[in-house]
């Protein structure tokens, strides 16, 4: 392992309750149990949201701007994908099986799981000073400015925005909070924003996974599961 990689390890860890070099035995968990649990529940919920969101998207792989949009109106853009409904012009000679029913049920259930987990994580982070110590500009922050900016963006901009744009597609929510829809440019704009924020979150996930891979998979995944630095990483 080149030394430059191991230099990044303490910075990448999503918690620094104890320095990674703390003596074994006396070391407190590298990641607090709340951080570990919320991390993996979020990962599971995100995976379910991504798969089911893709399935829902296949019933109409066209995007619009404004309040309305349908097969008779010009799209903002369309994805080069076949659709699960016959009424959508896709250019493909076949129609995929309809999977919207369970996809929608699972999408919303996973969204609840992600939102409740996210609220727990943010409440915990504020209470313990997690964000203040690790993510806001700080003399001893374990993260570099780009990492801090990325995590802050994901936690406080992209996650809220994907929930907001998702809710803005709901006709009942639109009736109770019309400004939540109009401020995004309309119901179809909300759907388009929801799609682009998904792309950004997937990009974040890919970078996150690549960095973990480069830094040594077991070194970083072990602590996120058990909370303890493994023998592989403790004194490297």
Applying CB under 8 A, the residues found at the interface with other proteins are: 56-57, 59-60, 62, 67-73, 85-88, 100-102, 104-106, 108-113, 167, 169-176, 178, 181, 187-188, 191
Cβ proximity to other proteins: between 135 and 229 the closer is 229
Nearest distance, CB of residue 47 and other proteins, angstroms: 16
Nearest distance, CB of residue 93 and other proteins, angstroms: 18
**Tokens representing 219?**
């070194």
Nearest distance, CB of residue 65 and other proteins, angstroms: 12
Cβ proximity to other proteins: between 10 and 185 the closer is 185
> Between the CA atoms of 54, 207, 152 and 63, what dihedral angle is there, to the nearest 10 degrees?
-30
Nearest distance, CB of residue 214 and other proteins, angstroms: 32
Instruction: Say how far apart CA 82 and CA 97 lie, in whole Å.
Output: 11
Nearest distance, CB of residue 207 and other proteins, angstroms: 29
Strand 62-63 relative to strand 77-78, pairing:
antiparallel
With the C-alpha atoms ordered 213, 219, 223, 226, is the resulting torsion angle positive or negative? positive
Length of the chain: 236
Cβ proximity to other proteins: between 85 and 128 the closer is 85
Cβ proximity to other proteins: between 146 and 172 the closer is 172
Nearest distance, CB of residue 153 and other proteins, angstroms: 27
Instruction: Say how far apart CA 124 and CA 104 lie, in whole Å.
Output: 30
Question: Does an H or E element contain 7, and which?
Answer: helix 3-12
Q: Report the candidate in 169, 214, 230, 172 with the shortest Cα–Cα distance to residue 194.
A: 169
CB 147 within 8 A of CB 12: yes
Instruction: Say how far apart CA 24 and CA 46 lie, in whole Å.
Output: 34
Cβ proximity to other proteins: between 43 and 113 the closer is 113
CB 114 within 8 A of CB 42: yes
Cβ proximity to other proteins: between 15 and 110 the closer is 110
């Amino acid at each position: 392992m080149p030394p430059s990689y191991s230099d990044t390890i303490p910075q990448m860890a999503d918690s620094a309750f104890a320095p990674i070099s703390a003596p074994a035995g006396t070391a407190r968990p590298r990641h607090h149990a709340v951080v570990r649990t919320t991390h993996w529940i979020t990962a599971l919920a995100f995976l379910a949201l991504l798969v089911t969101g893709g399935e829902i998207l296949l019933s109409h792989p066209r995007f619009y701007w404004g309040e309305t949009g349908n097969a008779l109106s010009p799209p903002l853009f369309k994805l080069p994908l076949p659709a699960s409904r016959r009424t959508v012009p896709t250019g493909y000679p076949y129609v995929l099986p309809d999977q919207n029913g369970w996809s929608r049920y699972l999408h919303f259930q996973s969204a609840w799981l992600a939102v409740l987990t996210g609220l727990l994580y943010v409440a915990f982070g504020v209470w313990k000073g997690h964000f203040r110590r690790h993510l806001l500009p700080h003399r001893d922050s374990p993260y570099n400015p780009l990492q801090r900016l990325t995590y802050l963006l994901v936690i406080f901009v992209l996650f809220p925005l994907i929930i907001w744009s998702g809710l803005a597609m709901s006709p009942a929510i639109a009736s109770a909070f019309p400004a939540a829809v109009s401020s995004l440019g309309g119901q179809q704009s909300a759907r388009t924003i929801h799609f682009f924020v998904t792309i950004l979150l997937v990009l974040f996930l890919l970078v996150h996974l690549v960095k973990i891979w480069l830094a040594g998979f077991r070194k970083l995944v072990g602590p996120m599961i058990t909370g303890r630095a493994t023998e592989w990483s403790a004194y490297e």
